[in-house]
Amino acid sequence: MCALATAQRTPASEAAHAFLLAMALCHTVVPSTDESAPDAAVPQYQGSSPDETALVQGAAEMGYVFHDRRAEMVTVIVDGRPAEYEVLHVLQFTSDRKRMSVIYRYVVPGEAGGIAEPPR
């Protein structure tokens, strides 16, 4: 269980939650699960750089597991609960910007186009 997801909401816990969620979402890493591995709940990650992969792995170790990437959707599991995010736009890393950006929309379960606060 992730202590940040279940902690009393304070400005510091909100900032930590947002930071770890960003680490779990803002990347181009692809997860793969080896069903025969002893800990198949945590995917193995393949990324374009070791740094990007390490950040996603670090978020997973803190309880923010990047679980699945589909064409326009990603799934992150926080505190055992899956949350889906629609990928609205990806700005790839460039040497001029020295960063990449991803714009997401949280998908409310059972509601088409609904917007609400993601689970914590």
pLDDT at position 50 is 92
Query: Cα–Cα distance between 107 and 83 in angstroms, integer?
Result: 8
Residue 76: give the domain boundaries.
Answer: 3-107
pLDDT at position 20 is 95
Total domain count, the chain: 1
Whether residue 83 lies inside any domain: the answer is yes
Whether residue 50 lies inside any domain: the answer is yes
Whether residue 22 lies inside any domain: the answer is yes
Whether residue 26 lies inside any domain: the answer is yes
**Please, are residues 39 and 81 in contact by the beta-carbon 8 Å criterion?**
no
Q: What is the pLDDT of residues 19-72, one digit of tens each?
A: 999 999 998 899 987 666 655 567 899 988 899 999 999 999 999 999 999 989
Query: Cα–Cα distance between 70 and 66 in angstroms, integer?
Result: 12
Query: Cα–Cα distance between 17 and 92 in angstroms, integer?
Result: 24
Q: Is the pLDDT of residue 117 over 60?
A: no
pTM above 0.75, yes or no: yes
